[in-house]
Amino acid sequence: MEIKAVNIKDKLNSFSDFWNPKIVGELNGQLIKVAKFKGEFVRHQHENEDEMFLVIEGKLLMEFDDKTIEAKAGEFIIVPKTTYHKPIAVGEVQVLLFEPDTTLNTGDANSNLTVNRLEEI
């Protein structure tokens, strides 16, 4: 593995599609991903994996069964495994994700937004 600095903004500027996470690093069985969100995602949960959403730019709403949490640039939300959630982007949102390498983006919800094979950039 090459040791190097990774510029998050450069990685985010290298693509324009939404809801399609890209791998930018990995450590200890965790993938570090960047993604752009726009609009609403599907409600889902992950049986075995926690997720962390760090907002780089924009405003992300995370809708849970009993509340909605807002995260702005510089803030993050950790979603514990088995917790149903639905990400909602207010405008365009850029995020950094920390997830186990087994995490499927749509969890238990099969959707046209499911990405089975992630691109590494």
Domains of the chain plus CATH, in order, are: 23-101 (2.60.120.10)
The pLDDT assigned to 100 comes to 86
DSSP string, the chain: -------HHHHHHT---SS--EEEEEETTEEEEEEEEEEE---B--SS--EEEEEEEEEEEEE-SS-EEEEETT-EEEE-TT--BEEEEEEEEEEEEEEETT--TTTT---TT--SSPEE-
% pLDDT > 70, the chain: 98
The angle formed by the CA atoms of residues 99, 7 and 22, to the nearest 5 degrees, is 40
| pLDDT tens for each residue of 33-81 | 999 999 999 999 999 999 999 999 999 999 999 999 999 999 999 999 9
pTM of the model: 0.88
pLDDT number for residue 106: 74
Is 94 in contact with 34 (CB distance < 8 Å)? yes
